[in-house]
Structure 1
Amino acid sequence: MERSTFVYDGDCAFCTRCAEFIERRIPTEVTVVPWQFADLDALGLTVAECEEAVQWVGADGSRAAGPDAIARLLGTSNAGWRAGGGLLRLPPVRVAAWPVYRWVARNRHRLPGGTAACALPQEARERLYGPTGRPPAAGA
C-alpha cells in the first residue's frame, strides 16, 4: 500500500461531517474514505470493525481504531495537529479517550449533523435506505 488510509462510516452524517473537516482543515496525504466505498479486503478490515469505530491502516500495514486511529491521522499532519495526535497517545489521555469515543459513537445520531440513520447498524440502514444511503425509489 502506498498511502495510509483512514476509514469512517459514510452512512453516518456526523461521521461524514467529521471526515469533511479532516479533508478541509487537516493537511495530510492520508486517504480518507467511507468504508462503504473502500476495498475492505485489501485493507484487511471487516464490516464489523468499520461499524464499531473509525479505522487506520498505515502504509506500513499498521492498524488502529477509534481514538488511536485519530491520533495516527493527526500524526501525519503539520506540527500543531501532530501535537494533538501525540497528546491523544499519552496513556492517561488514551485511557480517557476510549470511553468518550464510545459515547460519541453510541450518540452520534444526537450530535450536530447526525441523523436517525446514524444510530442504526449497517444491515438496518441498507434495509431502510438501500446500499447507497438513500431510500429505495417508490415501487422498487
Structure 2
Amino acid sequence: MAVVTATFVYDGDCAFCTTCAEFIERRIPTRARVIPWQFADLDALGLTQQECEEAVQWVAGSVRASGPDAIALLLQDAGRFWQVAGSALAVAPVRLAAWPAYRWIADHRHLLPGGTAACSLPQAQRDLLFGTDAPRRP
C-alpha cells in the first residue's frame, strides 16, 4: 500500500500567507508538505490556479479540502493538541462560522500583520504590476 503524502498549498506571493505557512512549518508537526501554489505542480495535485488564489488547499490522495476545511485537516494530521483543534474546527457549527471568518481574513490579509498591499491583488494583477519573471518567495 502506497503512503500518500498530504500537501497543504498556500499563496506564496502573499506575505501574510507566507508568515502563516512559516508558523505551520515551525510550530505545527504536520506530516504534510507545505508549499506555495506558485511552486506546486497544480496539475498533479488536481488544483487550479483560481482555487489556490481563493483559499488554501489540502490534497491527500482523493481527499481535497479548501479554506478552513483544509486547515482542519492540516491540524488533525499534526496530532495531539492540534488534532483537538482540527476536530473542533470540523464540527458543523464551528465549520459554518469558520467560513465567513476565513473569507474576511482572506479579503483583508493585506491589512493583517505580515501583509502587504500585493496580498490584496489577484495573481493576474500581480503579474501585470511586477512581471511574471519577478522573483517569488519559496
| Bigger relative contact order, structure 1 or 2 (CA pairs below 8 A, ≥6 apart) | 2
User: 1:138 aligns to what?
Assistant: none
User: 2:97 aligns to what?
Assistant: 96
Q: Does 1:41 align with 2:46?
A: no
User: 1:25 aligns to what?
Assistant: 27
Structure 2: which 5+ runs fail to align?
A: none
Structure 2 matches for 1:1-140, cutoff 5 A?
A: 2-58=4-60, 60-131=61-132, 133-134=134-135
Separation of aligned partners in 1, 2:22 and 2:13: 13
Separation of aligned partners in 2, 1:38 and 1:3: 14
Separation of aligned partners in 2, 1:14 and 1:76: 23
- Count of aligned residue pairs for this structure pair: 134
Identify which range, 123-132 or 35-44, moves more after superposition: 123-132
Q: What stretches of structure 1 move > 2 A for 4+ residues in a row?
A: 130-135
Secondary structure of residue in 1 paired with 2:77? coil
Letter aligned with residue 13 of structure 2:
D
- Name the TM-score, length of structure 2 as normaliser: 0.93
Letter aligned with residue 95 of structure 1:
L
Letter aligned with residue 23 of structure 2:
F
Please give the root-mean-square deviation of Cα atoms over the aligned residues, in Å: 1.5
Equivalent residues of 1:125, 1:133 under 8 A apart? no
- Judged with a 3 Å threshold, the aligned counterparts in structure 2 of structure 1 residues 87 and 133 are, in CA distance, closer, same or farther, namely farther
Secondary structure of residue in 1 paired with 2:108? helix
Separation of aligned partners in 1, 2:37 and 2:4: 18
The percentage of aligned residue pairs carrying the same residue is 64
Deviation at residue 126 of structure 1 after TM alignment: 1.1
